[in-house]
């Protein structure tokens, strides 16, 4: 670290084995004033132990209500190149697959209009183009459109949905996550681009209960692949795992949450009582060569997941135990629309779907969207006696 460095604190973050974002900012700073001012404003934050951004006003591009996050420095005199420093959220392709060609096109556009800094990717999944002045937004978007990149969501709209790698590379995928994602994104372009809801709404799609896209925790609609029939067992491969030293009793059978597996250590025979299996994936995860999900595949739909604002974080809740998921995914899309309609009609401002269901009751929700109550929806029935009767039922 040079003695006369102007960023002595940040410079320390160029050391160490983990890739350094400071190095990246510095690389961009060589070409872009905004990146340079970002670096120095950040150094100031490191000294002050406080952020130096102001609440963003509404900025955007023509025809869209979202996709851009406005941001202003609170030290614009000192750091004029980041006085306006808005980010564009660019909708990533399904599964974050790229050709180098496509990525280079993207870099060219961004070098032309913005700071040259990005997040690959944002926590929702978008490509985040990090920092451009207001007047660069429209031209930047126009150039993005040219190379086939559209904006993602922000504000009270459907946010950019995302999915796990699924059939692209994973043998566990019970649904075509990549295709479903693309189809859903295309279906709901209007909802994605024009805030129209009480608050944000997120859809995430995982191919199996491992939930590699964390849908259950951070999406209003969690779609998780599963199967209805039996785990497919290749006994020979089970034996191989055992022979290679896996302690099948301790590592697999004893950790099966339903206790539905038996391991005959002498005969090296594994048996599964599939009726009692809850498809937790553990045994399959440990022995992917020997065990595979069943063949009658589909998805469980859960709703309501979200972060803590305003009434506390929620994990999504099962509302459809099993739905076939085949193009054009009409049943799923119709369900989403129906649920949005109910939410839109009943939700207060800044009330996510899960909070609305909590406020009005799961029963009202199920009735409104016409789903039958089944025990798979619950962990346990109610423990309190405060339940309602329809006067019709009391005769």
Partner 1 sequence: MAGKTDFGPPFYKDLLPPVILKNYGQWKYHERVKPGVLKHVAESGDELYTIRVGSGRLVSTDWIRDVCGIADQFCGGHLRFTSRHNLEFLVSDKNQVEPLIAHLNKEGYAVGGTGHAISNPVHTQGWIHCHTPATDASGIVKAVMDDLYEYFADSKLPAYCRISLACCLNMCGAVHCSDIAILGIHRKPPHVNHDTVRAKCEIPNVIAACPTGAIRPDPKEKSLTVNEDKCMYCGNCYTMCPGMPLADPIGDGVSIWVGGKISSARTPPKFSRLVIPFLPNNPPRWPEVTSAVRNIVEIWATHAHKHERMGEWIDRIGWERFFDLTGIPFTVQLIDDFTLASETFRSTPTFKW
| Footprint of ligand SF4 (CB under 6 A) | 164-166, 170, 172-173, 206-208, 210-212, 256-258, 260-261, 272, 277-284
Of 100 and 384, CB closest to ligand SF4? 384
DSSP 72-90: EES-TTT-GGGSB-EEEEE
The DSSP bridge pattern shows strands 68-69 and 86-90 to be antiparallel
Closest CA to 43 of 70, 79, 87: 79
Q: What are phi and psi of 163, to 5 degrees?
A: -150, 165
Q: Which does 316 bind (CB under 5 to 8 A by kind): ligand SF4, partner 1, ligand SRM, none?
A: partner 1
Q: Decide: is 126 part of the binding site for ligand SRM (CB under 6 A).
A: yes
Instruction: Please give the residue ranges that form the binding site for its own copies (CB under 8 A).
Output: 308, 312-313, 383-386
CB of 307: closest distance to ligand SRM in angstroms? 3
Q: Decide: is 279 part of the binding site for ligand SRM (CB under 6 A).
A: no
CA–CA separation, 159 and 184 (whole Å): 12
Q: Which does 324 bind (CB under 5 to 8 A by kind): ligand SF4, its own copies, partner 1, none?
A: none
* Helical (H) or strand (E) element with 332: helix 330-346
CA–CA separation, 59 and 258 (whole Å): 52
Of 325 and 353, CB closest to ligand SRM? 353
CB of 262: closest distance to ligand SRM in angstroms? 22
CB of 313: closest distance to its own copies in angstroms? 7
Of 192 and 319, CB closest to ligand SRM? 192
- CB of 204 within 8 A of CB of 75? no
CB of 308: closest distance to its own copies in angstroms? 6
Q: What are phi and psi of 228, to 5 degrees?
A: -105, -20
- CB of 157 within 8 A of CB of 200? yes
Cα torsion through 161, 164, 166, 170, rounded to 10: 170
Tokens for 333? 């899309």
Q: Decide: is 275 part of the binding site for partner 1 (CB under 8 A).
A: yes
Q: Decide: is 276 part of the binding site for ligand SRM (CB under 6 A).
A: no
Q: Which does 10 bind (CB under 5 to 8 A by kind): partner 1, ligand SRM, ligand SF4, none?
A: partner 1
CA–CA separation, 350 and 361 (whole Å): 18
Q: Decide: is 251 part of the binding site for partner 1 (CB under 8 A).
A: yes
The answer, yes or no, to whether the previous bond of 98 is cis (omega within 30 of 0) is no
Q: Which does 343 bind (CB under 5 to 8 A by kind): partner 1, its own copies, ligand SF4, none?
A: none
Tokens for 342? 């109910």
Of these, 312, 328, 330, 345, which contacts partner 1 (CB under 8 A)?
312
CA–CA separation, 153 and 126 (whole Å): 9
CB of 171: closest distance to ligand SRM in angstroms? 5
Closest CA to 363 of 337, 334, 333, 393: 393
Which residues face 291 on adjacent strands? 233
Q: Which residue has the tokens 């900025």?
A: 59
Q: Decide: is 310 part of the binding site for partner 1 (CB under 8 A).
A: yes
CB of 312: closest distance to its own copies in angstroms? 5
Contacts with ligand SRM, residue ranges (CB under 6 A): 69, 71, 87, 89, 119, 121-126, 128, 152, 160, 164-165, 169-172, 200, 202, 210-212, 214, 218, 285, 306-309, 352
């Amino acid at each position: 670290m040079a003695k006369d460095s102007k960023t002595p604190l940040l410079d320390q973050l160029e050391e160490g084995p983990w890739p350094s974002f400071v190095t990246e900012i510095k690389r961009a700073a060589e070409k872009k004033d905004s990146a340079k001012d970002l670096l120095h404003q950040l150094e100031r934050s490191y000294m002050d132990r406080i952020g130096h951004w102001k609440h963003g006003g509404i900025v955007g591009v023509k025809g869209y209500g979202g996709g851009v996050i406005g941001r202003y420095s609170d030290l614009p005199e000192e750091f004029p190149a980041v006085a306006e420093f808005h980010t564009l959220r660019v909708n990533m392709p399904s599964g974050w697959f790229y050709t180098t060609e496509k990525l280079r096109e993207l870099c060219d556009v961004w070098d032309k209009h913005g700071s040259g800094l990005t997040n690959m990717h944002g926590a929702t999944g978008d490509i985040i183009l990090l920092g451009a002045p207001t007047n660069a937004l429209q031209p930047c978007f126009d150039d993005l459109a040219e190379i086939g990149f559209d904006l993602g969501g922000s504000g009270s709209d459907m946010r950019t949905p995302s999915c796990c790698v699924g059939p692209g590379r994973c043998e566990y995928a019970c649904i075509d996550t990549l295709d479903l994602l693309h189809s859903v994104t295309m279906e709901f372009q209007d909802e994605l681009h024009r805030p129209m809801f009480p608050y944000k709404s997120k859809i995430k799609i995982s191919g199996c209960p491992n939930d590699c896209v964390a849908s259950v925790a951070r999406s209003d609609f969690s779609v998780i692949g599963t199967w209805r029939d039996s785990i497919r067992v290749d006994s020979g491969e089970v034996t191989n795992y055992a022979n290679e030293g896996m302690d099948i009793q301790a590592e697999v059978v004893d950790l099966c949450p339903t206790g539905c597996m038996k391991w005959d250590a002498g005969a090296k025979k594994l048996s599964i009582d599939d009726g009692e299996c809850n498809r937790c994936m553990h045994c399959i995860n440990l022995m992917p060569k020997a065990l595979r999900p069943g063949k009658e595949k589909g998805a469980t739909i859960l709703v309501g997941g979200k972060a803590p604002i305003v009434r506390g974080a929620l994990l999504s809740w099962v509302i459809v135990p099993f739905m076939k998921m085949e193009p054009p995914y009409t049943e799923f899309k119709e369900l989403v629309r129906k649920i949005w309609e109910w939410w839109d009609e009943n939700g207060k401002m800044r009330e996510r779907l899960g909070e609305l269901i909590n406020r009005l009751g799961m029963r009202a929700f199920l009735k409104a969207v016409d789903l039958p109550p089944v025990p798979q929806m619950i962990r346990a029935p109610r423990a309190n006696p405060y339940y309602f009767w329809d006067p019709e039922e009391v005769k």
